[in-house]
Structure 1
Amino acid sequence: MVFRRRDRRTPWRAAAEAVYPRGGWMRALNYIKHRLRRLPDSPEKIGRGMAAGVFISFTPLYGLHFIGGLVIAKLIRGNLIASLIGTFINNFVTLVPISAMAMALGYWILGKELDAHLVKDLGRYFSEAGWDLWHNFWAIFTSETMDWAGLRVFFREVFVPYFVGGVGPGVLIAVACYWVTVQLARAYQAGRRKALEEKLSQLRKTPGAGPMGR
């Protein structure tokens, strides 16, 4: 096939590049910035899409960030591709600080004391909750018995505090990313229009340019 990768990546290589992209994080960030600026939409719509993706990434809806970003972007008339790009603010590098901040702030807002071991084992709690959901789903079609006890504890001790603590920072960072994205998109689009106008101006000044001059 024409578009198939020449160097097929192994699963280990794909996982490694997800943690540390080939060329480094600066190159990855520059690529994202380049893609944002070239999106064919108004700067404001691109900014709203970016903000939608950033905001949803501060919630505990892991596995649904892409879908959630698309839904919010659709509701606020943002660019859908920009919303997908925005979700990458929560990645292997930022996952731990975002989670720890959201949990600490959420417990503080709710007036509860946070157990340090809860933050340390947060990944395990999400994994176990996912398996419980999967078990209960299959229990509908089999003779297995549904068990919601663990999910109730997870919802009370992890999901709600995380959500409460993540909304505020998510809104603030989303607003900041909206402003930055709009400025980048405006500057790029203005520069592109100027370059096009200069090119057209040069073509008009060139003798024999255009169909009539051939």
Structure 2
Amino acid sequence: MLFARQRRPNFWERSRSAVLPRMGYRRAFRYRLQRIGRMSGSPHYLAAGVALGTALALTPWFGLHFFMAFLLARLFRASLPLALAFTLLNNPWTLPLVMFCNYELGRAILGSNGVGLPPVEAISWSYLLNDGEALLLPLIVGSTPLAILGFCAVYWPLRRKVARMQVERRTKLDARRTAIRALQPEQAII
């Protein structure tokens, strides 16, 4: 191949470039967006897959994200590969921030119902081992509006962007086809 690498990057090099892309975050984001726009499927299919994965990444259901993505992608007729890929936004680097936001929002929503809940600073390993199930209710209550907000914040702009990209790509391909047909000589009938 003409522009292929001489050697394939190993696992650590691929992991590093996934976290810290050499081309910069803005260019990497545009590249990923362009890749999504070039995938086959309707704008709803593609945008719903990305939005479902993003929304599920904001929930505290660790270990169930893939299963829930499978079910919800079938239910909403969304892209399963995109939904599965975007559930990985919840990773060891983003997990503390997501759980902190879920817990604090859940405590704020519960108000007087969550009186026995300690602030985040007071949570220790002994509290998690003895009374850890008390944290589940504020996490669930706090993650619900964040997941809905995350879904809406991703779905609507991405759906419009993908639709626009698909129309532009289709018009470019049609223009290229007509130009090629115009250049071809007419076949003589003998």
Give the TM-score category using the shorter length.
0.7 to 0.9
Between 169-178 and 23-32, report the one with greater CA deviation. Answer: 23-32
SS at match of 2:143: helix
| Kept in 1: contact 2:73–2:79 (CA 8 A) | yes
| Counterpart-to-counterpart distance in 2, 1:47 and 1:8 | 30
Q: In structure 2, what is the equivalent of residue 143 of structure 1?
A: none
1:60, CA displacement in angstroms?
0.8
| Counterpart-to-counterpart distance in 2, 1:187 and 1:156 | 46
SS at match of 2:59: coil
Q: In structure 1, what is the equivalent of residue 35 of structure 2?
A: 35
| 1:190 aligned to which of 144, 162, 167 | 167
| Kept in 1: contact 2:49–2:80 (CA 8 A) | yes
1:72-127 deviation per Cα after TM superposition (whole angstroms, max 9, x unaligned): 111111111221243244345543332211110112222324422357x6xx79xx
| Kept in 1: contact 2:100–2:120 (CA 8 A) | no
1:117 aligned to 2:121? yes
Between 99-108 and 83-92, report the one with greater CA deviation. Answer: 83-92
Q: In structure 1, what is the equivalent of residue 138 of structure 2?
A: 161
Q: In structure 1, what is the equivalent of residue 7 of structure 2?
A: 6
Q: In structure 2, what is the equivalent of residue 60 of structure 1?
A: 60
Q: Which amino acid aligns with 2:7?
A: R
| Counterpart-to-counterpart distance in 2, 1:115 and 1:61 | 21
TM-score (norm 2): 0.77
1:200 aligned to 2:180? no
Aligned-pair identity in percent equals: 28
TM-score (norm 1): 0.70
SS at match of 2:60: coil
| Kept in 2: contact 1:19–1:93 (CA 8 A) | no
Q: In structure 2, what is the equivalent of residue 142 of structure 1?
A: none
SS at match of 1:39: coil
The within-5 A match list for 1:161-180 is 161-180=138-157
The within-5 A match list for 1:5-154 is 6-9=7-10, 11=12, 13=13, 16-17=16-17, 19-91=19-91, 94-111=94-111, 112=114, 113-117=117-121, 150=129, 153-154=131-132
1:188, CA displacement in angstroms?
1.1
SS at match of 2:142: helix
Between 76-85 and 174-183, report the one with greater CA deviation. Answer: 76-85
For structure 2, the residue ranges without an aligned partner over 5 or more in a row are 1-5
Q: 1:10 to 1:91 in 2, by over 3 A?
A: closer
Q: Which amino acid aligns with 1:49?
A: G
Q: 1:17 to 1:117 in 2, by over 3 A?
A: farther
1:16, CA displacement in angstroms?
4.2
| Counterpart-to-counterpart distance in 2, 1:118 and 1:161 | 15
| Kept in 2: contact 1:19–1:92 (CA 8 A) | no
* Paired residue total: 181
